[in-house]
Amino acid sequence: MGAIGYYLFYGINWIFTLLPLSVLYIFSDFLYLVLYYVVSYRRNVVATNLKNSFPEKTDKELKVIEKKFYRHLSDLLIETFKSTHMTRANQKKRFTYSNLEVIDRLREEKRDIIAVLGHYNNWEWPTLLPYYLKYKTIIIYKPLQNKYFDSFINNHRSEHGIVLTPTSQVIREIINYRKNDINTVSVFISDQIPSKGDIKYWTTFLNQDTAVFTGAGKIASKYDMAVVFFHVQKVKRGYYNLNIELLFDHTAGLSEEVITEKHVRRLEEIIKEKPENWIWSHRRWKHKKPVEND
């Protein structure tokens, strides 16, 4: 999509998201029907991912999860667009935080932190993180190919002080802030898909061989950073809570693999509790683990 298409989208989205969420959720219900029954958006991908992840479940059980996922996906799309027109007061009401005392203690100790979360529930709404954490907050992201949408998303994400940094520049950012005696929380999305050339570590995740990034663990260990998990929970439709879970207080001397396994296992536990709230439409397992020859 070029500039004309982008600005047309921007104008429509700007007007559309003036509507309250209660009205937008009516559109979400309709969008679910379109995505699931009309265009069948990646239904084969979703069905395959669910079947491989939960071989113990019956076809009927998997179908229930599949339909719940598409309802969640429809809400997520609507909520992401709506966030461009949410006031700070509305954001505070709809997205709350718990267990902040973990961060408070680490801040008093002048510790740098690695935070990890997955594509679970609404990971786009915590744009007020810097106000709650009272840290310089860095989010590590993968730039979108479309420069217009990349700018649109990132301008929104950073409007309250979040620093967006590509993976290749995160260490430079952390070092620069440390030189100026500024402590940071660096947020990694743990279930991103590494490109084939960047795969350095395989694990078992949701019953499948899975390539995962180990950068969060590598950086944490190198600088003895604390590691926390951001567990985004859905309270009810349109309301979420981010619970902060301490995984490691100190990481000096730990291998990046040990740290990686810890946060991967935590995400796996959360997904198994309510699988419909993870993004199953991603081609998460498009890369296959090479067969090792004896």
Q: Do both 26 and 49 map to the same domain?
A: yes
For residue 3, name the pLDDT band (cuts at 50, 70, 90). Answer: confident
The whole-chain average pLDDT of the chain stands at 92
pLDDT of res. 14: 78
- Nearest 5°: phi and psi at 25? -70, -20
Q: Which residue has the higher pLDDT, 15 or 293?
A: 15
| pLDDT greater than 70 at residue 2 | no
Question: 14 and 81 in contact (C-beta within 8 Å)?
Answer: no
Q: Do both 114 and 219 map to the same domain?
A: yes
In a domain, 252, yes or no: yes
For residue 69, name the pLDDT band (cuts at 50, 70, 90). Answer: very high
pLDDT of res. 135: 96
How far CA 226 is from CA of 128, 137, 217, 248, in Å, comes to 21, 14, 10, 5
Q: Do both 103 and 177 map to the same domain?
A: yes
- Count the helix, strand and coil residues of the chain and give each as a percent rounded to the nearest 5: 50, 20, 30
Q: Do both 114 and 162 map to the same domain?
A: yes
Q: Do both 135 and 182 map to the same domain?
A: yes
Q: Do both 137 and 270 map to the same domain?
A: yes
In a domain, 65, yes or no: yes
How far CA 142 is from CA of 149, 180, 277, in Å, comes to 13, 26, 22
Q: Do both 127 and 64 map to the same domain?
A: no
* Residue that is last in its domain, among 64, 84, 104: 84
Q: Do both 110 and 131 map to the same domain?
A: yes
Range of the domain at 106: 96-277
96 three-state secondary structure = strand
In a domain, 291, yes or no: no
In a domain, 242, yes or no: yes
In a domain, 236, yes or no: yes
In a domain, 71, yes or no: yes
pLDDT of res. 153: 73
Ranking 34-38, 59-63, 125-129 by mean pLDDT, the lowest is 125-129
In a domain, 90, yes or no: no
For residue 195, name the pLDDT band (cuts at 50, 70, 90). Answer: confident
Give 196-239 pLDDT, tens digit per residue.
Answer: 888 999 999 999 999 999 999 999 999 999 999 999 999 999 99
Residues comprising the chain, all counted: 294
In a domain, 105, yes or no: yes
Question: 230 and 244 in contact (C-beta within 8 Å)?
Answer: yes
* Residue that is last in its domain, among 56, 84, 112: 84
pLDDT of res. 6: 67
| pLDDT greater than 90 at residue 35 | yes
* Residue that is last in its domain, among 60, 84, 108: 84
Q: How many independent structural domains does the chain possess?
A: 2
Q: Do both 270 and 152 map to the same domain?
A: yes
Q: Do both 210 and 254 map to the same domain?
A: yes
Q: Do both 192 and 213 map to the same domain?
A: yes
The pLDDT of 121-129, averaged and rounded, is 92
For residue 1, name the pLDDT band (cuts at 50, 70, 90). Answer: low
Q: Do both 101 and 63 map to the same domain?
A: no
pLDDT of res. 32: 98
